[in-house]
C-alpha cells in the first residue's frame, strides 16, 4: 500500500484526454468548475505537467503537499494567464522585470518577486516572496483564464523526475489528483528557468527551458549564476528552498561523468562491470555506438547538436532506468550552453555520484 492510501488520501480521479492545441471547451469548463470547488488538477504546461489548485482555496493548496509528499517548506509557483494577474500576486515590480515580461511571457520563465495580497502563505511556505510564471501552453492558458491564478508544483511524487508524458502523470497522480488533463507530451521537457528579482543583482535559482543567455544578452542585465544553480549539491544553501532536496532521482544509482570524452565514460563502465555490476549508459546519438559491448543497456536521449531534443527526453530516460534491470547507470555530460545548463543541473541533482 502506498503512502497516499495509508493516509486515507486516495481520491477518485477523472481523466480527460484533450488536443493540446484545440482542447475541448466542455472539458476545460468542467475542470475549471472543479478548481473553483477546491479540487486538485493535473494540467499540461509547455515545460512539464503541473499539479494545480486555486490560489483562492488555501485548503486545496495544503492538499497539494500531501498528494506529492512534498515538504511543506518548499514553496509553489503561481501560474497566471494575464499580466493583470500580477497586480494581485506581486508588488514592487522593478522596471527590468516589466521589460523581461514583454520579452519572455508567456513562456518558460519564472520570476521571484515580492509577494502580493492574493497569494496565501500556504503557497509560498510563508516567504515574503512569490514565484510567478505565465505558461505558453494553450490548455494552461485557457484554463487559467477561467480559474484565475493556480498554485502548482510539477505533478510528480516528490523526488522523482518531473512528468513530461501522459503516462508519467497517470503513474504518479492517479488516485491523488481529482482531475487529470492529458494533452500528450510536453514541449520542452525540463522545468522553467527561475530568476530571483527580489534581490539586486538578480540571481538564477534554477536553470530551465528559457536559456539564461537570452535574458542577459537581450536585456543587457547581469544575472548571478552560482554552483548551486549549476546543480552541485555540496555547494548548497537554501536559496530556492526546493534546491536542498535530492531531485529527479531514479531508484537506480546514477553516476554523472563530467569528463568530455566518451572513452572516459567507457572506462568507468568497464570498471563497474569488472565489479560484476549490470550497467546502463545515458548518451547522445552520436556516441551510442561507442558503448555497444561496453555496457548492458544504452539509453539515447537525442543529438548533441540539438540540446532541446536531449532536454525533452531526459526525464523519460531517468524514469526508464528503473525498468532496465541494471544495478547502476552512467550519464555522459552535455555542453552547458542554452538549455544545456538545465540538462546538467538536472543530471547532477539526480546523481548519486559526480566524477569531475
Ligand atoms: O516549469 C515549471 O516551473 C513547472 C511547471 C509545472 O510550471 N513547475 C515547477 O514547480 O517546476 P516546482 O514546484 O517543481 O519547482 C518550483 C521551484 C522549487 O524549487 C521552489 O523551491 C522554487 O521554485 N520556489 C518557489 N517559490 C519560491 C520563492 N518564493 N523563492 C525561491 N524559490 C521559490
Ligand atoms: Mg518539481
Domains and CATH numbers, the chain: 2-230 (3.90.870.10), 254-355 (3.40.50.11030)
Q: How much is the pLDDT for 234?
A: 62
- What predicted TM-score, i.e. pTM, was given to this entire model? 0.94
Q: How many CA atoms, within 13 angstroms, populate the side-chain half-sphere of residue 212?
A: 25
Which residue bears the cell 570498471? 271
Q: How much is the pLDDT for 4?
A: 45
Ligand nearest to the backbone CA of 238: 1
Residues lining ion ligand 2 (Cβ < 5 A) are: 154
Residue 320 clears pLDDT 60, i.e. is over it: yes
Q: Which atom of ligand 1 is nearest to the CA of 191?
A: 1
Task: Look at phi and psi of residue 43 and say left if phi exceeds 0, alpha if psi is from -120 to 50, else beta.
Answer: beta
Q: Which atom of ligand 1 is nearest to the CA of 79?
A: 7
Contact 333, 258 (CB under 8 A): yes
Q: What is the mean pLDDT of residues 296-320?
A: 97
Q: How confident is the model at residue 233 (pLDDT cuts 50, 70, 90)?
A: confident
* Strands ordered across the beta sheet of 328-331: 297-300, 279-283, 328-331, 254-257, 353-355
Q: What is the mean pLDDT of residues 163-171?
A: 98
Distance 31 CA to ligand 2 centre (A): 22
Q: What is the mean pLDDT of residues 304-314?
A: 97
Ligand nearest to the backbone CA of 194: 1
Report the DSSP beta bridge partners of residue 283: 300
Rg (the chain; Cα; Å) = 20
Q: What CA–CA distance (Å, rounded) separates 225 from 354?
A: 20
Q: How much is the pLDDT for 260?
A: 73
Q: How much is the pLDDT for 259?
A: 77
Contact 129, 203 (CB under 8 A): no
Ligand 1 and 161: CB distance under 6 A = no
Residue 239 clears pLDDT 60, i.e. is over it: no
Kindly report, residue by residue over 133-144, the tens digit of the pLDDT. Answer: 999 999 999 999
Q: How much is the pLDDT for 244?
A: 52
Q: What is the mean pLDDT of residues 69-83?
A: 97
Q: How much is the pLDDT for 87?
A: 96
Q: What is the mean pLDDT of the chain?
A: 93
Of the residues 47, 72, 113, 131, which should be mutated to test ligand 1's pocket, given the most ligand atoms within 8 Å of the CB?
A: 131
Q: What is the mean pLDDT of residues 290-300?
A: 96
Q: How confident is the model at residue 149 (pLDDT cuts 50, 70, 90)?
A: very high
Q: How much is the pLDDT for 221?
A: 87
Residue 53 clears pLDDT 80, i.e. is over it: yes
Kindly report, residue by residue over 105-124, the tens digit of the pLDDT. Answer: 999 999 999 999 999 999 99
Residue 138, SS3 per DSSP: helix
Amino acid at each position: 500500500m502506498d503512502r497516499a492510501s495509508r493516509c486515507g488520501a486516495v481520491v477518485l480521479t477523472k481523466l480527460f484526454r484533450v488536443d493540446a492545441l484545440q482542447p475541448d471547451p466542455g472539458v476545460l469548463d468542467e475542470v475549471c468548475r472543479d478548481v473553483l470547488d477546491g479540487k486538485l488538477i493535473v494540467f499540461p504546461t509547455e515545460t512539464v505537467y503541473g499539479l494545480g489548485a486555486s490560489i483562492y482555496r488555501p485548503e486545496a493548496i495544503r492538499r497539494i503537499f500531501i498528494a506529492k509528499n512534498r515538504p511543506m517548506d518548499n514553496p509553489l509557483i503561481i501560474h497566471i494567464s494575464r499580466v493583470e494577474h500580477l497586480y494581485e500576486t506581486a508588488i514592487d515590480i522593478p522596471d527590468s522585470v516589466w521589460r523581461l515580461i514583454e520579452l519572455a511571457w508567456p513562456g518558460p520563465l519564472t520570476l521571484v518577486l515580492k509577494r502580493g495580497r492574493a497569494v496565501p502563505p500556504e503557497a509560498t511556505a510563508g516567504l515574503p516572496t512569490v514565484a510567478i510564471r505565465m505558461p505558453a501552453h494553450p490548455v494552461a492558458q485557457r484554463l487559467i483564464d477561467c480559474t484565475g491564478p493556480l498554485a502548482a508544483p510539477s505533478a510528480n511524487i516528490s523526488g522523482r523526475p518531473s512528468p513530461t508524458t501522459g503516462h508519467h502523470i497517470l503513474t504518479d497522480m492517479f488516485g491523488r489528483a481529482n482531475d487529470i488533463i492529458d494533452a500528450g507530451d510536453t514541449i520542452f521537457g525540463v522545468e522553467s528557468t527561475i530568476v530571483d528579482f527580489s534581490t539586486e543583482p538578480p540571481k538564477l535559482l534554477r536553470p530551465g527551458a528559457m536559456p539564461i543567455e537570452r535574458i542577459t544578452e537581450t536585456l543587457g542585465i547581469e544575472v548571478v549564476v552560482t554552483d548551486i544553480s549549476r546543480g552541485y549539491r555540496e555547494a548548497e544553501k537554501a536559496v530556492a528552498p526546493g534546491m536542498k532536496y535530492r531531485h529527479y532521482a531514479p531508484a537506480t544509482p546514477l553516476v554523472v561523468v563530467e569528463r568530455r570524452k566518451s572513452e572516459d565514460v567507457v572506462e568507468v563502465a568497464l570498471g563497474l562491470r569488472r565489479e560484476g555490476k549490470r550497467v546502463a549508459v545515458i548518451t547522445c546519438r552520436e556516441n551510442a555506438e561507442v558503448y555497444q559491448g561496453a555496457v548492458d543497456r544504452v539509453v539515447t536521449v537525442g543529438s548533441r547538436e540539438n540540446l532541446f531534443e536531449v532536454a525533452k527526453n531526459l526525464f523519460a530516460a531517468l524514469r526508464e532506468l528503473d525498468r532496465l534491470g541494471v544495478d547502476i547507470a552512467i550519464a555522459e555530460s552535455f555542453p552547458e550552453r542554452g538549455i544545456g545548463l538545465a540538462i546538467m543541473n538536472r543530471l547532477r541533482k539526480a546523481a548519486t555520484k559526480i566524477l569531475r
